[in-house]
Structure 1
């Protein structure tokens, strides 16, 4: 019984929150952190799907911001959440195709490469330069 419960809990780890349910994910790797990013309107959600030892929000926040910007094509105005699930307020709205605000946060310089992962995700890998 413990095994079944553990399996069910593990399966739910990379699921979207209710607001992003049904939205396809883009998998983005940023400096060793892997996120499934979903975008709806002017919000983005980055769910960290890899295991990392004792992550704090500090370094994960910057990586999640880069992942959300890469997946959405929009600047990220604010990032909230914890080390597992973060939500970003985007500076544009994909559905309307317009920029809402000018970005106020500066992010480190990363170079991202798009590649086909073969598992149904759009995938990017991002590295600092």
Structure 2
């Protein structure tokens, strides 16, 4: 039994490993609602990896929070989103958006005033 644990330990350590396109990019940690993501941006693509445990999350419930995290970090709109409840990828539509968050910092974000599918995302650095 101990042998099995040692065989699977390397796989468990890789649960928060980014895809090959995003390797070498420092993540920005963003919490939105009850989800926390490590977000990496490379040009017009972004990846959000949910790093907190949630009981039986569905993609439909987690996806809006993941998209908001990617939008906040990149300063761009999410044009297309795919993936699952743990790892999401997005194609970004970048315009003159808001300035991106800084890599290496952790942020606490809250969604305010949702109307017609839109809302304000207010993020402050964690102390």
Give the shorter-chain TM-score range: 0.7 to 0.9
Counterpart of 2:120? none
Unmatched runs of 5 consecutive residues or more in structure 2: 113-127
Greater than 6 Å deviation, 4+ residue runs: none
Q: What pairs with 1:38-57 in structure 2 (closer than 5 Å)? A: 38-57=40-59
Shift of 1:88: 0.9
Deviation at 1:122, TM superposition (A): 1.5
Change in CA separation of 1:50 and 1:6 when aligned onto 2, cut-off 3 Å: farther
Give the C-alpha shift of residue 125 in structure 1: 1.3
CA deviation profile, 1:41-92 (whole Å, cap 9, x unmatched)? 1000001111111111001100000100111111111111101110011111
TM-score normalised by structure 1 residue count: 0.75
RMSD over aligned Cα atoms: 2.0
CA-to-partner distance for each residue in 1:11-66, whole Å, 9 max, x for gaps? 10000001111111101111011111000010000011111111110011000001
Cross-structure match for 1:104: none
Q: 2:17 and 2:31 mapped to 1: Cα distance?
A: 17
Gaps of 5+ in 1: 93-98, 101-113, 115-119
Cα distance in 2 for residues equivalent to 1:9 and 1:61: 25
**Residue in 2 that maps onto 1:61:** 63
Task: Indicate the SS of the match to 2:29.
Answer: strand
